[in-house]
């Protein structure tokens, strides 16, 4: 299946012109020609069966054959709010794998012990788009810019909320035992130095439940992916 990202494609459209980047990939890399079958995704759940009408390395024209709305939509939502690692390669790995696995939102947090003070959001979006296409998904997750931890806690978040931390003296329940039914789940994952005790207290006051991801001490990006995977394992039945 040859898949292309077409974010401005409408369900009512009968034809579409690929961007120059996608056209070049279509004609010069994949070497597709007139009449070849392709699949288009809009990143909002729309999947389109189509075929090439006029191949061109700058503006390939596509004929739309069928539209499938809410393609592979899940009955639950996953939002991971994570403090970016100092080594950005590790955070990019998380974005890629989380999108492949299935995630709806990612917020990058600025915490008290964060070592990274900036983030190239445009690059993260490109990685997410590539992972979406690679895993043949029709939904592109929302990626939020670097956000102050206190500001994030003030957001009107829906569904169940959890904070995974290692602060001593806090009673925590396994995330696996906390997931009971399809819902919207928001999980906080701290920086490499973990959340501060004050940040944990703030989260609890904001309605977050403390959880553990197992007995192993995980890297930030591993913990974030483990949280995402845990929800999928429990609810993908």
Specify whether 11 is located in the same domain as 101. no
CA 176, CA 171: separation in Å to the nearest integer?
15
Specify whether 54 is located in the same domain as 100. no
Query: Could you tell me if 117 and 84 are in contact, meaning their C-beta atoms sit under 8 angstroms apart?
Result: no
Residue that finishes a domain, picked among 22, 39, 68: 68
Q: Which two tokens stand for residue 201?
A: 């207290």
What is the reported pLDDT for 65?
97
Query: Could you tell me if 227 and 188 are in contact, meaning their C-beta atoms sit under 8 angstroms apart?
Result: no
Specify whether 118 is located in the same domain as 210. yes
What is the reported pLDDT for 172?
85
Specify whether 63 is located in the same domain as 29. yes
What is the reported pLDDT for 142?
97
Specify whether 82 is located in the same domain as 60. no
Q: What is the pLDDT of residues 164-215, one digit of tens each?
A: 998 776 778 999 999 989 999 999 999 998 999 999 999 999 999 999 998 8
Residue that finishes a domain, picked among 40, 68, 96: 68
Specify whether 38 is located in the same domain as 125. no
Query: Could you tell me if 214 and 159 are in contact, meaning their C-beta atoms sit under 8 angstroms apart?
Result: no
Q: Which residues of the chain have pLDDT under 70?
A: 169, 237
What is the reported pLDDT for 93?
97
Specify whether 131 is located in the same domain as 17. no
CA distances from 63 to 20, 28, 50 (A): 17, 19, 6
What is the reported pLDDT for 216?
84
Residue that finishes a domain, picked among 24, 47, 68: 68
What is the reported pLDDT for 71?
94
Specify whether 230 is located in the same domain as 129. yes
Q: How many domains does the chain have?
A: 2
Task: Supply the range of the domain harboring residue 58.
Answer: 3-68
Specify whether 37 is located in the same domain as 124. no
Specify whether 12 is located in the same domain as 126. no
What is the reported pLDDT for 237?
63
């Amino acid at each position: 299946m040859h898949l292309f990202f077409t974010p401005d494609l409408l369900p009512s459209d009968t034809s579409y012109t690929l961007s120059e980047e996608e056209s070049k990939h279509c004609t010069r890399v994949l070497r597709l020609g007139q009449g070849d079958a392709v699949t288009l995704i809009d990143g909002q759940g729309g999947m389109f069966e189509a075929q090439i009408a006029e191949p061109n390395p700058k503006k390939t024209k596509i004929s739309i054959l069928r539209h499938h709305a809410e393609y592979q939509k899940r009955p639950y939502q996953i939002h991971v709010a994570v403090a970016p690692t100092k080594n950005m390669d590790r955070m990019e790995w998380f974005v890629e794998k989380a999108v492949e696995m299935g995630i709806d939102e990612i917020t990058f947090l600025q915490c008290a012990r964060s070592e990274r003070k900036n983030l190239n959001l445009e690059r993260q979006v490109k990685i997410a788009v590539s992972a979406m296409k690679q895993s043949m998904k029709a939904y592109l997750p929302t990626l939020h810019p670097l956000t102050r931890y206190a500001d994030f806690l003030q957001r009107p978040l829906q569904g169940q909320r959890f904070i995974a931390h290692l602060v001593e003296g806090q009673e925590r329940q396994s995330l696996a035992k906390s997931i009971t039914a399809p819902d919207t789940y928001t999980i906080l994952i701290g920086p490499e130095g973990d959340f501060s005790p004050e940040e944990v207290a703030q989260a609890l006051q904001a309605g977050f439940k403390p959880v553990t991801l197992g007995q192993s001490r995980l890297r930030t990006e591993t913990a974030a992916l483990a949280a995402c995977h845990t929800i999928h394992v429990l609810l993908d039945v």
